[in-house]
Every structure is written in C-alpha cells, then in structure tokens.
Amino acid sequence: MYYIYVLKSKRDGKLYVGWTDDLRNRFFRHQSGLVQSTKNRRPLQLIYYEACLVKEDAIKREKSLKTGYGRSYLNRRLSNIKI
C-alpha cells in the first residue's frame, strides 16, 4: 500500500502533504525532526490519509492535493473535523 498523508503543524497551523509506503515510519521521521521540510514546524499531527494500491497513483494524488484545487478540497473535507 502507498499512503498520501496530511500533517498539520501545531506550531504554525500549516498543512504538509506527502506520500509514503510506510506511514508509521514516515510520521515518526517527521516527528523526530529527520525530514528537512517539517523539522522546524514540529510538533505535527496526522490529520488525514488515503491509501492507494499503485505507487504512481499515490504520487499523482499527492501532486493534485498540493494544487489550489487540492488545497480547497482538503479544507472542505477537513472543515467538519475538530483538529
């Protein structure tokens, strides 16, 4: 399985979108400061993820969620969730 995930920074409230084949390990790496793009935005909270069977599909989905439309989709999808 391949996972597209969204993290929310508890420091600045911004979202980070990524993909991985090992969600638990990747989240641990983010929380430990081992990922350059999020190390100064910790602590982080995993707020959303999707699973794909095909790696290429996960990469396409991640890229789509990083667009303006994708961010709007995430904001609508997450607006009903207390985070």
Residue 83 located in a structural domain:
no
Specify the pLDDT at position 35. Answer: 97
Cα gap 46→42, rounded to integer Å: 12
Q: Block means of pLDDT (10 residues each) for the chain, length 83 residues?
A: 97 96 98 97 96 98 97 89 70
CATH classification at residue 16: 3.40.1440.10
Q: Is the pTM of this model over 0.75?
A: yes
Residue 42 · residue 9 · CB < 8 Å: yes
Q: Quick one: DSSP state of residue 34?
A: -
Parent domain of 37: 2-78
Residue 29 located in a structural domain:
yes
Specify the pLDDT at position 83. Answer: 66
Specify the pLDDT at position 60. Answer: 98
